[in-house]
Amino acid sequence: MIGIIGAGGHAKVITDIFRSQKPNERIVFFTMLPEAVDPYFLACEIEKDSEHVQMSYRSVLTGWHVAIGNPHIRRSKVEWLLRTGCPVITAVHVSSVLAVSSKLGVGSSVMAGSIVNPDAVVGRGCIINTAAGLDHDCQIGDYVNIGPGCRLAGNVSVGKLSELGAGAVVIPGIRIGKGCVIGAGTVVTRNLPDYSKAVGVPARVIGELPPSAD
C-alpha cells in the first residue's frame, strides 16, 4: 500500500503514474481538507493530513510520496517522512526516458514524456513535469519544480527550491540560483542570482524574492 500526501491536481498525475504501473496497489491519500477533495478522489481512501494519522499507517505502507506542488511545503513533508524513517519513493512515468548515468533523488517525480539525459543529476523531492527535457550534465537542486515543456540545455544548474514555469528555456552552461522563480516561456541566456524573479525573452530580472523563502 502506498501513501500519497496531497489530493490536488498534482496528486492526480502522481496517482496515474502509480496506477498505470501497479493497478492493484492500494493507495491512501492524506490531505488537510478530506471533506473537500476533488471529485477525482471521491472513490479513494482519504485521511486527514496530520503527523499522528500518518504515523498510524507507518507499519502498513510500503512507500510514501509527497504530491504537493509548492516546493516549500513539499520539502517540509519529505524531510519529516525521512526523519521518522518512512520510505519515500520516486514516481517515474513509463513513457519518460532516464539515461543510465542520470541520477534521481528520493521523492522526486518524472512525468510523461520527460527526458533526463546522461550525467544529469536531479535532487531530492523535485518535479520534472510533463514533456520537460534536461540535457547532459544538468544539476538540479533539491525541491526544484521544472514546469511542463521546459528545455534545459547541457550543463545547466538550478539551485534548490527554484521554480521554472511551463515552456521555459535555458541555454547551455547557465547557472540559476536557489529560490528563483522563472516565468512561463522565459528564455534564460545569462546567470541569475539567488532569489531572482525573471520573465521574458531574453530573461530579465523583475524582482527579488525574500531570502526567507529558503
Active site residues: 136
> Which residue bears the cell 532569489?
195
Q: Which run of H or of E encompasses 79? A: helix 71-83
67: its cell numbers? 504530491
Q: Are 154 and 171 in contact (CB under 8 A)?
A: no
Indicate the length of the chain as a whole number.
Answer: 214
Give the CA count within 13 Å in the CB-facing half-sphere of 132: 29
169: its cell numbers? 528555456
Which residues contact residue 35 at a Cβ distance below 8 angstroms, ignoring those fewer than 6 apart? none
